[in-house]
Amino acid sequence: MPNSTQSPYLLLANIGQLLTLRGANVPRRGRDLQEIGLIKDAAVLCGGGKILAAGPQRELLRDPWLRTNRKKVQELDCRGQVVIPGLIDCHTHPVFAEPRLVDFERRIGGAGYEEIAAAGGGIRSSVAAVRKSSRGELSKKVLAALNAMLEQGTSVVEAKSGYGLSVEDEIKSLQAIRDAARQWPGEVVPTLLAAHVVPQEYGGKADEYVKKVCEEMIPLVAKKKLAQYVDVFCDRGAFTQEQSEKVLAAGRKHGLGTRAHVCQFTAAKLKPLLEHQPASFDHMDCVQPEDVSLLARGETVAVLLPGANYFLGHKDFPDARRLIDAGVPLALATDYNPGTSPTPSMPFVMSLACTHMKMTPAEAIAASTINAACALRMQDRKGSLEAGKDADMAIFDVKDYREIAYWFAWDRCAEMVVAGKLMGLGKR
Ligand code: NIG
Ligand code: FE
């Protein structure tokens, strides 16, 4: 954990490969997704939590300020390791109490996700335990997940509620996120996902529940400033297109940003949802051709979640190449949750993106840094290593950046810098 006696200045020296991801603060599309701003034999100087300079070490060490103040600067010898921007996990569901082992075994026995959900498993089966848990118990679990994410290179996490499904339990879930975030060195972006599924007690009266979400939950959460975004699960077995639009419209009306789970199992019409200016559309396994060209013209980021396809045992993965080649901005995220993706590891997700979605290692890194920052609308501060941006960096114990996605399920993250402070993970 951060050492309070650290100097406000930190120099990362002897970096073998520095991936700056420098460039305009806009989502990278098409061929630009390959542009990772690689500098060999590099150094990064941080001060006051920000990047002061990042570039070739020979140039950086000539800096007059650094030459006179070198003694004031804490130094980390990276010994030829690889440094990239802190990874940004732009889609997670960390507020749950128990793993879903019954669903896991049913799927092994051949049942499908939707079939299990319809038979009483799925999202609804995580709700009772969350309702029974205290805010303190939930925040401990959220913090444990955030720490596991940090260990593997992540410094920004979007965190959704969505297993409370009542005014009280959704508020409790968002408070648990806030409590955990206060004890975590990275940054957390909270999202209200009250419209995850219709809770049991509504007996299938989805419109009634949507009314509750729009007229009670969203206004209250906005008033308490507990979330930055509102999300909705728009799919078969969850909410219809019309219901989803109502949720997003209510979010916007109350000053929240919007994002949506769409096209995981069935295609949605994205045009009407785009009216609500979503920062991201997430999953995107089955997108219609006319929607691909629509997205290529807009700013909404498609967040692909291959951890869910992997864990559900799907043969198919989102068609990243089709989206990239059409010019749709893409990001990657873990989708950390108990039902479809219980992994905190962005490097594992990047590996899946390479092996199953044919993204290159460079594309996977850009999709997990600058484009993920765009998916959270934080690209002015996060996602690349350039003077003025937040000094969030992941140091990997590899010689070549392509190894980050290559060594799958092997934790190669050696050290983290968050807001200019060394985390001291003790793994170097
Ligand atoms: O992103 N698709 C909706 N929500 C989650 C699954 C949550 C769960 O099964 O608990 C997802 O995959
Ligand atoms: Fe999700």
- What's this model's pTM, rounded to 2 decimal places? 0.98
Residue with tokens 């954990």: 1
Q: What is the pLDDT of residue 4?
A: 53
Ligand 1 contacts CB of residue 340 (under 6 A): yes
Query: Does residue 337 line the site of ligand 1, with CB under 6 A?
Result: yes
Q: Which of 103, 107, 123, 239 best tests ligand 1's pocket when mutated (most atoms within 8 Å of CB)?
A: 123
Helices (H), 315-424: 320-326, 346-357, 361-368, 370-375, 403-406
The residue whose C-alpha atom lies closest to atom 9 belonging to ligand 1 is: 339
Long-range Cβ contacts of 33-39 (<8 Å, 24+ apart): 33/324, 33/330, 33/362, 33/363, 33/366, 33/367, 33/371, 34/360, 34/362, 34/363, 34/366, 35/362, 35/366, 36/362, 36/365, 36/366, 36/401, 37/384, 37/385, 38/401, 39/15
Q: Is the CB of 122 under 6 A from ligand 1?
A: yes
Does an H or E element contain 193, and which? strand 187-195
Pick the ligand that lies closest to the CA of residue 191. 2
Cβ of residue 339 lying under 6 Å from some atom of ligand 1: yes
Phi and psi torsions of 281, nearest 5°:
-115, 125
- The pLDDT score that the predictor gives to residue 98 is 97
Instruction: Starting from the CA of residue 235, give the closest ligand.
Output: 1
Ligand index nearest the alpha carbon of residue 91:
2
DSSP assignment, residue 398? -
Q: List the structure tokens of 82.
A: 């690889």
As to burial, measured by CB atoms within 10 angstroms (0-12 exposed, 13-18 middle, 19+ buried), residue 78 is buried
How high is the mean pLDDT in each 10-residue block of the chain (428 residues)?
A: 71 98 97 98 98 98 95 97 99 98 97 93 96 98 98 99 98 99 98 98 96 98 98 97 98 98 96 98 96 97 98 97 98 98 98 98 98 98 98 98 98 98 92
**Cα(405)–Cα(353) distance, rounded to whole angstroms?**
9
pLDDT value, residue 172? 98
- Which tokens is 192 given? 């209200």
- Å from CA of 93 to ligand 2 middle: 6
CB 261 near ligand 1, within 6 Å: yes
pLDDT at 5 (0 to 100): 65
Q: How far apart are CA 281 and CA 258, in angstroms?
A: 9
Cα-flanking dihedrals φ and ψ of residue 139, to 5°?
-70, -30
Alpha-carbon dihedral angle through residues 210, 215, 218, 220, given to the nearest 10 degrees: -140
In the chain the first and final C-alpha atoms are separated, in Å, by 14
What local confidence, expressed as pLDDT, does residue 7 receive? 87
pLDDT of residue 103: 97
pLDDT of residue 426: 87
Strand partners, 282: 261, 303
